[in-house]
Structure 1
Amino acid sequence: MGAPTLSFENEVFAKFAFYAGIVLLKTMIMSVWTARYRIPRKVFISPEDYGSKGPKTLTTDPDIERARRCHLNDLENVLPFVLIGFFYVLTGPDVGSATLHFRLFAGFRLLHTIVYMFVVPQPSRAIAFFVGFFVNISMAISVIRAGMF
């Protein structure tokens, strides 16, 4: 068997690209979600954002801060998933195992956002976080093993 190709004809790569696209889009949407609170409440973080209209300059609105923390959490977890997942694809994993990794990560990232933004009590957010975290660890171990010399 040859080296895995980075094309959509490689089923593992195609599935990875699909799920990576979902979580990257979700991460980008968090910016809009934050703006959804900022604009109507006129809560901006930089003076050039509000001009002479004189809105509040507070940065401690609880809903805005919750959306920002959720977005930051995505950046801390989705970017490693995309990088580790890319290298994981190159290890030539079994399609079923790879698909499970990708689906678990994407599903639990979406769940993490829902429970974070709608203030579902713990341990729901922690569970959603740690499933994704351990998916990344599992793929990283596979990458490290494949690259050992």
Structure 2
Amino acid sequence: MVDLTQLMENEVFMAFASYAAIILLKMMFMSSATAFYRMTRKVFANPEDCTGFGKGEIAKKYLRTDDRVERIRRAHLNDIENIVPFLGIGILYTLSGPDVSTAVTHFRIFLGARIYHTIAYLTPLPQPNRALAFLVGYGVTLSMAYRLLKKILYL
């Protein structure tokens, strides 16, 4: 059984928890931004979402796509595809007892890369900005996975 008091005293775990909370809040913001743009631009993906704006053919005109809504939605989807693996590997990496400064560097770089990725996606900045931000974040997750497996395999 995991002793929560011990975890709360673990500097690496507390750093991970802080950065994980920030990155999850950022991801939650993206879903709120998607909903906001859908409502303000009256752009809906499902017929039942349009019923508040009329019935039949009138409601169907709101069943469409919009470039801005789709851009935010794709950025959010990209967050999900990258943040979930970071959190899973990150928690295991954190529990493996890594060096504090190395672990915090991993967490900071990942957070910075994901924030920059979102800015590059939504602005939009020219490529390779977004691609480089993605690769940096992905590289951080791979680095933590490598360090974790290296430690586990050489116990």
Q: Normalising by structure 2, what TM-score?
A: 0.88
Extract structure 1 runs of 4+ deviating beyond 4 A. Answer: none
Partner of 1:57: 63
Partner of 1:97: 102
Larger RCO, structures 1/2 (Cα 8 Å, 6+ apart) = 1
Structure 1 residue 16, shift from structure 2 partner: 0.4
- How far apart in 1 are the matches of 2:12 and 2:78? 26
Question: Deviation string for 1:57-85 (max 9, x for gaps)?
Answer: 01x31111101110000000000010000
Partner of 1:78: 83
- How far apart in 1 are the matches of 2:21 and 2:48? 32
Q: Among 97, 114, 118, which residue is 1:109 paired with?
A: 114
- How far apart in 2 are the matches of 1:106 and 1:52? 38
Query: Aligned residue pairs: how many?
Result: 144
Structure 1 residue 146, shift from structure 2 partner: 2.1
- How far apart in 1 are the matches of 2:135 and 2:88? 18
Question: Deviation string for 1:4-56 (max 9, x for gaps)?
Answer: x8622110000000001111111111111111211011111111112152251
Partner of 2:71: 66
Structure (1 or 2) with the larger CA radius of gyration: 2
Q: Among 128, 140, 148, which residue is 1:143 paired with?
A: 148
Q: Normalising by structure 1, what TM-score?
A: 0.91
| Larger helix share, 1 or 2 | 2
Structure 1 residue 147, shift from structure 2 partner: 2.1
Corresponding position: 1:31 with 2:37: no
Aligned-residue sequence identity (percent) comes to 51
Runs of 5+ unmatched residues, structure 2: 54-58
Residue pair 1:12, 1:99 contacting (<8 A) in 2 also = yes
Runs of 5+ unmatched residues, structure 1: none
Aligned-residue RMSD, C-alpha: 1.4
Corresponding position: 1:22 with 2:27: no
